[in-house]
Amino acid sequence: MIDEPPFPEPTRIAIFAVLIGALLIRGAFVVASADSLHADPDAYRTIAENLRQNGIYGSNAAPTAFRPPLYPVLLAALAIKGEVTPLIAGGLNVLFGAATVVLTFLLGYRWRLGRWSFAAATLVAVDPILLNQSSLVMTETMATWLAAFGLYALSLWEAKPSVGGAIRAGIVFGLACLCRPTFIPWLGLSAAAMILLRFDSWKLSPLRPSAKSSVALVVTAAIVISPWVLRNYLVLGVPKATTTHGGYTVLLGNNPSFYRYLRHAPRGTTWDSAELAAMWELRQYSASPNDLIWDLPHEVHAPPIHRTEFEDDAFAYSLARHYITDEPGMFAYSCLVRVSRLWQLTPYNTSGSESTVRLLMRIVTGCWYSVLFLLAIVALLSIRTKLIRSPYVWGFLLCVTFTAVHALYWSNMRMRAPLMPYVCLLAACGMSHISNRLRDRKP
């Protein structure tokens, strides 16, 4: 007797159709916004070209650990004659975007969404944040693919728990951490969930400890991350597993200028970080975080203090801690602001004036996310306690991780990009629930 598969599987034709549709949608958008691929807002292209041409991971002759390595290393490997062309960057984004759509479709079937898996895949394919980021040389598109891949690897493990399955998931988690360090807490929470939860017929039950799988997940991810740690130790003298960008990112959202903006700025206006950038340049004249750099004169004649990149990072953290402890009430309020910005519906108007087309795009984006989140809320109300059970728990932990991290670190809408496949799956689940209720009401 042949056992029936625990999950319905989509046909190859359906998978192929989803893949082609995703390639066409993402490809058309990237072609239409090709000019954006010439920009290099976070210097990933510069780092990749410098690595390919000079063998130095950095934007100049000095090696750095300021940016996570996976994306620029991949760009460097694909560079043509040492140059990362818009075609390379755009092509990668299209491939990662299409792969994310397919993984969402496959996850939908594992969530037993059936034909609503097409809806989940479509929502991911046309999601405004994911579309926008696919036209930029930034990590969001790769990070979103790795998040969806991580969810899929965990779903494979839960269907048939084994050390081998945990190792496969650990490889994906390790790559995700090398793409964006925000994934590291998700790794820890997922490892803990493997120990605390047993997934059997979608029910929570007492666990016979899955410690081997949990250890395999963490050890494998650590092995994948280890070359970056070793490189930082050998080249820069510090075995850093993340980046040296974290301190400034915390300081960006916890400083007197931002707190003053939160107190007095009119609603809907954006904060200009130019004052912080100017004050940060004066850090070389401040020996201690207790010497508030905001109080230093703009022209300092004292001898500058030399700090390494890692010491700069630590100093930024210490400055942020100083401002946080000095104004704990504003810190608590700023955490709420950062969480709301992570999950906000409509992008801010970042320019003094905007065209009618841009205004309409912001309105449409707000309407899109209003409907999407309402559908996700319907799903949450329908599943209730199942949120901490299979298969929802992995995405729930991912959302908890990103929300908690960005409550402290700087936050905006694009930083929730890796969460969108999970949110779109919830929205499709909400569609399914509404459809079933309407069908049951028919005489």
pLDDT tens per residue, range 48-97: 999 999 999 999 999 999 999 999 999 999 999 999 999 999 999 999 99
3-class SS of residue 202:
coil
CB contact set of 7 (below 8 Å; sequence gap of 6+): 109, 110, 112, 159
Between CA 424 and CA 443 the distance in angstroms is 31
Residue 138 DSSP SS3: coil
pLDDT digits (tens, 9 = 90+) for 364-398: 999 999 999 999 999 999 987 777 777 889 999 99
Q: Which residue intervals of 41-127 are DSSP H helices? A: 44-54, 70-78, 86-110, 116-126
Cα angle vertex 196, ends 194, 197, to 5°? 70
The DSSP secondary-structure symbol of 271 reads: P
310 is written with which tokens? Answer: 């890692």
Q: Number of helices (H) and strands (E) in the chain: give both, helices first.
A: 18, 2
Q: What confidence tens digit (pLDDT) does each residue in 112-127 have?
A: 899 999 999 999 999 9
**Cβ(127)–Cβ(421) below 8 Å:** no
| pLDDT confidence of residue 1 | 28
Q: Rounded distance, CA 397 to CA 387, Å?
A: 10
Q: List the structure tokens of 265.
A: 């700025």
Q: Which of 388, 2, 6, 4 is nearest to 159 (CA)?
A: 6
Burial code of 237-274, b = ≥16 C-beta within 10 A, e = fewer? eeebebbbbbbbbbbbbbbbbbbebeeeeeeeeebebe
* pLDDT on residue 159: 85
**For residue 80, which phi and psi values (nearest 5 degrees)?**
-100, 115
Range list of β-strands (E), 153-221: 198-200, 203-205
Residue-wise pLDDT for 330-340, tens only, equals 999 999 999 99
How high is the pLDDT of residue 277?
86
Q: Using CA atoms, how far apart are residues 325 and 292, in angstroms rounded to an integer? A: 13
What is the gyration radius of the CA atoms in the chain, in angstroms? 23
Q: Where are the domains of the chain?
A: 12-249+339-441, 250-334
Residue type, 120: A
End-to-end CA separation in angstroms for the chain: 40
Longest dimension (CA), the chain: 85
Q: Calculate helix-pair angle for 256-264, 328-342, nearest 10 degrees.
A: 70
Indicate the range of 229-243, 258-272, 295-309 predicted with least confidence. 295-309
Q: Give the integer Cα–Cα distance in Å for 139 and 42.
A: 9
Q: Round to whole Å and give the CA distance between 229 and 232.
A: 5
pLDDT band of 314, cuts 50, 70, 90: very high
* Tokens coding 83: 């140059």
Establish whether the linkage from the previous residue to 391 is cis, with ω within 30° of 0. Answer: yes
Tell me phi and psi for residue 13, to 5 degrees. -65, -40
Tell if the pTM clears 0.75, that is, is over it: yes
Determine the Cα–Cα distance for residues 147 and 164; give it in Å rounded to an integer: 20
